[in-house]
Amino acid sequence: MSKLNNELLLKIDEDRIYLTPFLSLPFDQTNILYQYLGFKKGLYWMVKIDDYNPALGVLNVQVIDYSPTDKDRFIKQRTDKIINQIIFAPMKWDLLSPQLWWHQQINLKPMLEYNESATKLLESTASLGHQQGFKGFSHLTTVDQVSAFRYTLELKIPFSNLLFKNGYVTFDYWVRELGINKTISFVVLNTEIIEAFEEVKEWFSKKLGKKRITVVAQLSVFKGQTDHTASSPDIEAINKSLIEEIKQERVMSICKAKNNETGQLLSLNSVLELTKITTGILQDTEQEVIEIIMKNGKVRNKAQIQYLANIRQTLNQKIKFTLYPYFGFLFTIEGIKHTHFVWEQRNSNATYVWSTYLDTTEPFFLIEREIKQICSSGRDVYKSSQRQNRNVDIVCFATFFHSKISKKPLESFESWKNKLENYLYKLG
């Protein structure tokens, strides 16, 4: 190589390209996509030198013989030139493939002949010699003449490695291609994504049916500077419709949730925290959450729950929730003399109403105690006990049954509503 020789015998061994017995480069200093192939042992290539850039130490070659017979000349090869990188022209797949013991052909397209991206790479590197062939090591190409090297990566990134931010997700990946050899932070844009999704990203994994997302990364190197972009069809799939589906599924999971304390009255925020639904994901009011529950699945006393939530619930208090063993809602109705607490369980047969004086301290504590008693002793036992030993702090207790609700739902609702309203009116 110290002479002006247009041909060179290369040896491929142990993930390195040998130019002489004493000079070799690792694959990551070439454009060979080594992560997608494995070479058999004892290989030699005869290459034609197209160009050499002494300023960068870049050698541009093309393989002209994949199985040369004269291998003895390799022992005599020497050079005093600096070689930092070898760029191979697109290779012939029918001649390359027999030399591989394993490969992923679909990922090798950028380095194969007649591939568009590989042809562009050849044209950009060949321009160093002005397409006049190798002019000897005395030929000098300035840095400004070097074109950008471009490469496409298809990555599989676990959801656990993603970081959700407002308007995008990001992840770190160690890049070896094009001799970059460093960790790059990739960004995939999506305006529907918010930072709160970080806490519940496993929901998207389950909904998409994937533990890893597919990312197409575009890399380019120009004058030693690396540029990169990334896109992902899986991240693009996180749209308003998918987010709404997930939100509704997670809201419905509330109905099956359990808390350590049976009969406990919980605020919506406490329920969301217990079921790991962040307020950033679910920004609805109690009434909107109830509406989602009413729309998904059959609820026999749907009309009663909607009436209490949307018409009778006071604006001065928030609706409370009970989870286990009876999933339901505690509504607050303010009267002239009394505050009425109405417990309506999903798919129940009756409505429970407790009334306290307006100035009763800690009324929710009193009602929670009554509900806990129902959960521990049963509804029938509780109703029987109220006829004899009612809590002195509770002015009145009453139940209103959902008669004929399955056969005549509208008639049943009107009858239930009239009885409830008459009762509340009389108590004041």
**pTM reported for the whole predicted model:** 0.57
What's the whole-number mean pLDDT along residues 300-329?
Answer: 93
Rounded CA separation 246/241 (Å): 9
Rounded CA separation 173/303 (Å): 54
- In single-letter form, the type of residue at position 106 comes to I
* Span 4-48, pLDDT tens digits: 468 999 999 888 999 988 888 999 899 999 888 989 988 999 999
Question: Which position has the higher pLDDT, 118 or 271?
Answer: 271
Is the pLDDT at 120 greater than 90? The verdict is no
Is the pLDDT at 422 greater than 90? The verdict is yes
The band of 128, judged by pLDDT with boundaries at 50, 70 and 90, is very low
Question: Which position has the higher pLDDT, 319 or 152?
Answer: 319
Cis peptide before 98 (omega within 30 of 0): no
Domain boundaries, the chain: 7-143, 150-238, 242-427
Q: Is 102 exposed, middle or buried (0-12, 13-18, 19+ CB in 10 A)?
A: exposed
What's the whole-number mean pLDDT along residues 242-253?
Answer: 85
* Span 190-220, pLDDT tens digits: 999 998 888 888 889 999 999 999 999 988 7
pLDDT mean across residues, the chain: 83
Is the pLDDT at 145 greater than 60? The verdict is no
Query: For 197, which DSSP code?
Result: G
The band of 141, judged by pLDDT with boundaries at 50, 70 and 90, is very low
pLDDT at 3: 42
- The answer to whether the Cα torsion of 384, 387, 392, 393 is positive or negative is positive
* Span 71-101, pLDDT tens digits: 888 988 888 788 889 999 999 999 999 999 8
The end-to-end CA distance of the chain, in Å, is: 105
